[in-house]
Chain A
Amino acid sequence: MCATCGCSSPHDHDHAHDDRGGQVIDLQQRVLARNDHLAEHNRTWLSDRGALAVNLMSSPGSGKTTLLERTVRELPAAVAVIEGDQETQFDAERIRATGRTAVQVNTGSGCHLDAAMVRRALGELDPRPGSVVFIENVGNLVCPALFDLGETVRVVIMSVTEGEDKPLKYPHMVRTADVVLLNKVDLLPHLDFDIDRFVGYLRQVNPHAPVLRVSARTGAGLADWYGWLRRAIRCQVAVTRGGHGDLTKTDSPVVGGHPGVGEHPHPVALQPVDSPP
């Protein structure tokens, strides 16, 4: 049956239906096909360089840039950064002050990065083979979820000042996370934040992603984060060589680690869930 109009012809090509007054053309085209196509190019380009691309997503004020500043200082790996914000060069300047390379993308009225923006930025950034490329998305827990950038892994950062119910309020993004960082844990003694409740809510939309408790300010828990990144780098190398990786395990115990889980939610651990076939 024709999916467009319900007629009985078994055609799957462009066709006319004169009874509608005009010619109806069957498209069956994914709206984000162009973005996803460019994202696949980015993924291949990065993979050919043995680079791990990390898409960092969070709400504004979660401490994303502070975490990234510290990470790029302390991670013993080649690192390059793409900074996404609506306006200003502030974040790229903060990263460059650490001695690392950074390119700022200003989205103007846009509320998210897309694959075309990342493609241009990668060309400018020209990361060394084997680099970790951090892509700091625009601070927003809604829109970035839909746009595949060609990243290897997706990281969602939430902070204890945001309330435990954030995972349920923004399920689309949380569902796609490969790891969740809970930042600002140094503030826990001053707050009523209930970590068990947070993890319980998170598990309702993402049963497997490890939850790492960190403080970008004090450095607490960052060893777990770096350990997870090292595993991701090893997985990237394995995938590049045709193997598979599992990022649900970490080097250290984590909060709310799913007991008995040995299988990543994505069929191939390093492919984002929304990536095209």
Chain B
Amino acid sequence: MHELAITQSIVEAVVDRLGEARIASVRLEIGTLSGVVPDSVRFCFDLVTEGTTLAGARLEIDQPGGRARCRSCAEEFSSDDPIMLCACGSADLDVIAGQELTITAVEVV
């Protein structure tokens, strides 16, 4: 359950950047290949934000899909499966999207 630590990092990062400002909403990008489960972050968010400037804030999560480039045949393809295989059979890939784990924006009250 690393999502608890991840959610704590989100709150710390927002407080670091915005100090005392009351936060109305937080927008995240959690890629489908990031290894982080959005529902678990949602579950942790209310617990972790309690007593902070983020208490009661709305949480919006965008989930960019996965995309990879094959190192064997140079083909680019989309996949949300963490066990990615190129159509040519190679598993030797550069993941070029889907691993995002970013606080994209916050809305202050």
The answer to whether A143 and B91 have CB atoms under 8 Å apart is no
Chain B facing A: main interface SS: mixed
Residues of B near A28 (CB, < 8 A) are: 102-105
The answer to whether A112 and B5 have CB atoms under 8 Å apart is yes
Q: Which of A24, A27, A142 contacts B2 (CB 8 A)?
A: A142
Given A28-B102, A31-B13, A112-B2, verify A20-B107 contact (CB < 8 Å): yes
**In this complex, what residue of B is CB-closest to A33?**
B13
Residues 2-37 of chain B: 1 if any A CB is under 8 Å from the residue's CB, otherwise 0?
Answer: 101110011011101110000011011000000110
Whole-angstrom distance from the CB of A82 to the nearest CB of chain B? 18
Q: Which of A25, A110, A171, A172 contacts B106 (CB 8 A)?
A: A25
**In this complex, what residue of A is CB-closest to B2?**
A143
Interface status of B88 (Cβ within 8 A of chain A): no
Q: From residue 91 to 107 of chain B, which have CB atoms closer than 8 A to chain A? A: 91-92, 101-107
The answer to whether A29 and B82 have CB atoms under 8 Å apart is no
Whole-angstrom distance from the CB of A264 to the nearest CB of chain B? 11
Interface status of B90 (Cβ within 8 A of chain A): yes
**In this complex, what residue of B is CB-closest to A207?**
B92
CA distance in complex: A203, B83 (Å):
10
Whole-angstrom distance from the CB of A101 to the nearest CB of chain B? 28
Given A112-B2, A143-B1, A171-B83, verify A208-B92 contact (CB < 8 Å): yes
Residues of A near B2 (CB, < 8 A) are: 111-112, 142-143, 146-147
The answer to whether A22 and B109 have CB atoms under 8 Å apart is yes
Interface status of B85 (Cβ within 8 A of chain A): yes
Given A22-B24, A23-B107, A24-B107, verify A30-B101 contact (CB < 8 Å): yes
**In this complex, what residue of B is CB-closest to A23?**
B108
CA distance in complex: A146, B25 (Å):
25
Whole-angstrom distance from the CB of A172 to the nearest CB of chain B? 4
CA distance in complex: A28, B4 (Å):
21
Whole-angstrom distance from the CB of A22 to the nearest CB of chain B? 4
Total residues of chain A contacting the partner, CB 8 A = 40
Q: From residue 78 to 98 of chain A, which have CB atoms closer than 8 A to chain B? A: none
The answer to whether B104 and A111 have CB atoms under 8 Å apart is no
The answer to whether A4 and B104 have CB atoms under 8 Å apart is yes
How many A-B contacts are there with CB distance less than 8 Å?
A: 100
The answer to whether B83 and A204 have CB atoms under 8 Å apart is yes
Residues of B near A31 (CB, < 8 A) are: 6, 9-10, 13, 28, 101-103
Interface status of A35 (Cβ within 8 A of chain B): yes
Interface status of A3 (Cβ within 8 A of chain B): yes
Interface status of A187 (Cβ within 8 A of chain B): no
The answer to whether B24 and A21 have CB atoms under 8 Å apart is yes
Residues of B near A142 (CB, < 8 A) are: 2, 35
Residues of B near A145 (CB, < 8 A) are: 35
The answer to whether A29 and B36 have CB atoms under 8 Å apart is no
The answer to whether B104 and A3 have CB atoms under 8 Å apart is yes
Whole-angstrom distance from the CB of A25 to the nearest CB of chain B? 5
**In this complex, what residue of B is CB-closest to A175?**
B82
The answer to whether A27 and B106 have CB atoms under 8 Å apart is yes
Task: Please list the residues of chain A having a beta carbon within 8 angstroms of any beta carbon in chain B.
Answer: 3-5, 20-35, 109-112, 114, 142-143, 145-147, 168, 171-172, 175, 203-208, 265
6 nearest CB pairs, A to B? A143-B2, A4-B105, A172-B35, A207-B92, A171-B82, A22-B107
Residue contacts A-B, CB under 8 angstroms, 27 given: A4-B105, A21-B24, A22-B24, A23-B107, A23-B108, A24-B106, A24-B107, A25-B108, A27-B14, A27-B103, A27-B106, A29-B103, A31-B6, A31-B28, A31-B101, A32-B6, A32-B101, A35-B9, A110-B5, A142-B35, A146-B6, A146-B35, A147-B5, A171-B83, A205-B82, A205-B91, A208-B92
